[in-house]
Amino acid sequence: MLKSKTLTGAAVPVLIALASIAGTVSQVQAQEMAQENRQFSARAGAIVLAARNLVLADEHEAALGKLTEALSLADISSFERAMIYQMQGTSYYQLTQFPAAITAFEQAVASGGLNAGELADIRVKIAQLMIAAGRHAEGAEALESYLRAGGQEKSEYAELLTQAWTQAENYPRALPWARKWFAAATPKERRHFDLMNFLYNHLGESAQQADIVRQMISRWPDDVELWEAWASLFAAAGKEEDAFAVTKLMYLGGALKTEAEILKVVQYYSYYEMPYQAAQILEKELNAGRVTRQTERLVQLATLFRQAREYGRAIPVLEAATQSGGSAEVYAQLGEALYNEGECARAEAAFKRAIDQGYAAGKAWTLIATCRYEDVQRQQKLSCQMSQAEKAAAPKTKARQSTIVAFENVPSGSKEAVSAKKWISFVKAERLTFDKRCEFEERVRREECFKDIRRAYEGQFVDGKFTLGNSECEIYKEAYDEEFRRGKTG
């Protein structure tokens, strides 16, 4: 999330901040005009003046020699010693010998020859040098101590303290100064935003970081890393829908091009229960070659189509996946897709291939049997008027028997075994129920015909004519006579 880039881009130019240290030498003449106890003696003054000329000529090594000579004089005042140490510190600084410069300035403080204003000024310089020398925390503490004591706060101090505490990896101490530095920056540059992003990220302040990143995106909309950071922040905050919205915008805007990025988009669509849209994207990118066309991706595409209940579109994808060998799972998925399309024969062939490769036989045979049973439901119904031979030869009867055989193939040790037994009982009960219904209808029809036949006989007794009200009852006359008119003449 822009971590290393952020810190580098926000680096504070410490040496520029320290440039004011070089101004110490020009103050010597002003000090000479001060009260008597803050003046150079003639002897010390001559040596210091020579050192000053060498400093102006950028000959700092030679200047340091002269200043050491001045310090060796007997009876120099605390004021003279303080000024000489300051000049030493300045030359050491110009030579980038920061530890020696710090020591010289500290000796100036210890000399007792500085007034309150000078002490405050030199303490700032010491703090700046400590930071420049890599003593970030120590220098920052010294600078903050100066400010707490009433020192004047400047914008460059906020920048320096921000960088010092950041370099010391004390981000909680850096943040307040960073906010001041950011607020005062005019105009605001990328480094200002990068450092705030960096600090908010390390401190886990996701809401503030998201706001900064949003501002950055408005300034640098083509920076894909910023969009990715924004989406990640939403995801980390549990705002997955917002993260998805950002990722979708990136994809639709053409910012996402790598296979990993595209698969992330697909994953988001799938996660938010939009499998069809996910499948469309994956299919498009497979065809475009931006996603590698391998078995794993084909199976993923088929799975998305199956989740969207687009089984017809899943079938050719799964068939393509089987061309490279096809695992048991792939054949099982193909069987399931064919099953959902009502193609039982092809589904059965796929499931059997899956079983051959180790797929759970119980699950496979249950789906085969279920598909066969659905074929039973599609067949023309049996009729009670059909003969027993006609019923036995009917497609519905054969499909029902085939279903029972399939359920019987479910292994007894499988978890589907109990369910298979119930299905067998159910399928058999369906035929038994039909047979009983036919028996009931036959019994009702027989009874009604017997009544009609009895009325016909009664009519014959009255007028000599045997007339049935329902001519179809003629087939029951022999049975009626056998049961009720034995020994009687017709």
CA geometry: angle 337, 343, 346, nearest 5 deg: 85
Average pLDDT (399-409) is: 93
pLDDT per position as a tens digit, 190-206: 899 889 888 988 898 87
Average pLDDT (280-290) is: 88
Average pLDDT (453-469) is: 87
Q: What is the pLDDT of residue 24?
A: 43
Average pLDDT (416-431) is: 93
Q: What is the pLDDT of residue 272?
A: 74
- Under 8 Å between Cβ of 101 and 89: yes
pLDDT per position as a tens digit, 320-374: 888 876 789 999 999 999 999 989 899 999 999 999 989 999 999 999 999 999 8
Mean pLDDT (the chain) is 83
pLDDT per position as a tens digit, 218-233: 787 777 777 777 667 7
As given in the structure block, the two tokens for residue 29 are: 């003449």
Q: What is the pLDDT of residue 234?
A: 66
Q: CA separation (Å) from 320 to 273, 298, 336, 338, 348?
A: 25, 8, 16, 14, 18
Q: What is the pLDDT of residue 4?
A: 32
pLDDT per position as a tens digit, 231-275: 677 666 667 777 777 777 666 666 677 888 888 888 878 877 888
Nearest to 248, CA basis, from 236, 230, 238:
230
| Type of residue at 261 | E
Q: What is the pLDDT of residue 420?
A: 93
Q: What is the pLDDT of residue 52?
A: 92
Nearest to 203, CA basis, from 231, 235, 175, 168:
175
Q: What is the pLDDT of residue 34?
A: 40
3-state class (DSSP) for residue 362: helix
Nearest to 354, CA basis, from 332, 339, 379, 334:
332
Average pLDDT (289-315) is: 90
Q: CA separation (Å) from 82 to 101, 306, 390?
A: 13, 85, 125
Query: Is residue 25 scored above 70 in pLDDT?
Result: no
Query: 323 — phi, psi (to 5°)?
Result: -65, -25
pTM of this structure: 0.51
pLDDT per position as a tens digit, 67-91: 998 888 888 888 988 999 989 989 9
Beta-strand runs (E) in 197-332: none
Query: Is residue 165 scored above 70 in pLDDT?
Result: yes
Q: CA separation (Å) from 58 to 30, 53, 228, 306?
A: 21, 9, 51, 80
The maximal CA–CA distance of the chain, rounded, in angstroms, is 173
Q: CA separation (Å) from 9 to 201, 204, 222?
A: 15, 20, 18
Query: Is residue 36 scored above 60 in pLDDT?
Result: no
Question: Taking the CB of residue 441, how many other CB atoms lie within 10 A of it?
Answer: 12
Asked which of 15-19, 53-57, 443-447, 460-464 is least confident by mean pLDDT, the reply is 15-19
Average pLDDT (124-140) is: 89
Interior/surface letters 32-67, b for 16+ CB within 10 angstroms, e for the rest: eeeeeebbbeeebeebbebbbebbeeeebebbbebb
Q: What is the pLDDT of residue 415?
A: 92
What class has domain 1-183?
mainly alpha
Q: What is the pLDDT of residue 8?
A: 30
3-state class (DSSP) for residue 257: coil
- Please report, in angstroms and rounded to a whole number, the separation of the first and last CA atoms in the chain: 108
Q: What is the pLDDT of residue 128?
A: 87
Residues 225, 261: Cα–Cα separation, whole Å: 12
Q: CA separation (Å) from 118 to 18, 108, 179, 263, 350?
A: 16, 10, 30, 64, 92
Cis peptide bond upstream of 187, omega within 30: yes
DSSP class of 386:
S
Q: What is the pLDDT of residue 370?
A: 92
Provide CB contacts within 8 A for 487, sequence distance 6+.
none
Query: Is residue 173 scored above 50 in pLDDT?
Result: yes
Asked which of 239-243, 304-308, 467-471 is least confident by mean pLDDT, the reply is 239-243
Residues 244, 240: Cα–Cα separation, whole Å: 6
Beta-strand runs (E) in 111-221: none
Q: Where are the domains of the chain?
A: 1-183, 388-484
Q: How confident is the model at residue 405 (pLDDT cuts 50, 70, 90)?
A: very high
